C-alpha cells in the first residue's frame, strides 16, 4: 500500500509590501467585496420580488418551506443561519400576509412549527422565474453560477471551521 503525503498547508501570506498595494485599503478586503456583492444582489432581489410582495429574507424563508414543508422554527433557523430573534419578526410578517401559519407542535408543546398556507404554497408557481431573472442579472452563464456557488460554499465552510477553531 502506497503512503499518501499529507495535503500541502496553505502558504503563509506575504508581509505587505507597499509596492504591491496597501492591504488595509478598502478595495483590498474580500469581506468588502462580498458585502458589496450582497448589497447589489439585494437590490436585484428587491426589484424581482416586488411582484411577489416579498422581501429577500421572506423569500429565503419561503424557499425553505417550499422545499421542506412544515418545519420547527429552530430547524428553519438552522437552514437559514438565522437566530430566533431575527426569524420571529419575519415569520410574524409572513403570517400576517397569509403566507405561513405558526402552530405549537402536537408532539412537543415547547416547539413551534411553521408551514406554508395554501396561498403561500401557490406563491411558489409565481416565484419560479425569480432564479432565472437573478441569474440573468449576474451576466454569468449557468456553469459560472455553479462554480461561484461552489466556491462560496467552500469559503463559508472554511470560515465556519476557522471560527469554530477560534472558539475552541
The domain spans of the chain are 54-126, 129-163
DSSP lists the bridge partners of residue 104 as 112
Concatenated DSSP letters of 10-23? PPPPPPP-GGG--T
Instruction: State the sign of the Cα–Cα–Cα–Cα dihedral 141, 147, 149, 151.
Output: negative
pLDDT band at 22 (very low <50, low <70, confident <90, very high): confident
Q: What angle do CA 84, 63, 134 make, to 5 degrees?
A: 120
pLDDT digits (tens, 9 = 90+) for 124-139: 999 999 999 999 999 9
CATH number of the domain at 54-126, please?
Answer: 1.10.10.10
Cell of 123: 406563491
pLDDT band at 1 (very low <50, low <70, confident <90, very high): low
Instruction: State the sign of the Cα–Cα–Cα–Cα dihedral 38, 43, 47, 50.
Output: positive
What average pLDDT does this structure show over 8-34?
Answer: 78
Strands of the sheet containing 112-116, edge to edge, are: 71-72, 112-116, 100-104
Amino acid at each position: 500500500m502506497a503512503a499518501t503525503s499529507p495535503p500541502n498547508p496553505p502558504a503563509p501570506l506575504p508581509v505587505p509590501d507597499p509596492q504591491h498595494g496597501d492591504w488595509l485599503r478598502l478595495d483590498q478586503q474580500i469581506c468588502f467585496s462580498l458585502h458589496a456583492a450582497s448589497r447589489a444582489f439585494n437590490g436585484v432581489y428587491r426589484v424581482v420580488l416586488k411582484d411577489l410582495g416579498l422581501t429577500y429574507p421572506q423569500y429565503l424563508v419561503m424557499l425553505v418551506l417550499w422545499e421542506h414543508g412544515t418545519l420547527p422554527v429552530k430547524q428553519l433557523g438552522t437552514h437559514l443561519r438565522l437566530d430566533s430573534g431575527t426569524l420571529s419578526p419575519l415569520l410574524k410578517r409572513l403570517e400576517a400576509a397569509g403566507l405561513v401559519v405558526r402552530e405549537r407542535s402536537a408532539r412537543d408543546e415547547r416547539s413551534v412549527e411553521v408551514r406554508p398556507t395554501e396561498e403561500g404554497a401557490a406563491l411558489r408557481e409565481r416565484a419560479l422565474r425569480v432564479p432565472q431573472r437573478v441569474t440573468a442579472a449576474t451576466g454569468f452563464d449557468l456553469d459560472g453560477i455553479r462554480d461561484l456557488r461552489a466556491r462560496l460554499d467552500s469559503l463559508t465552510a472554511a470560515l465556519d471551521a476557522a471560527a469554530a477553531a477560534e472558539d475552541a
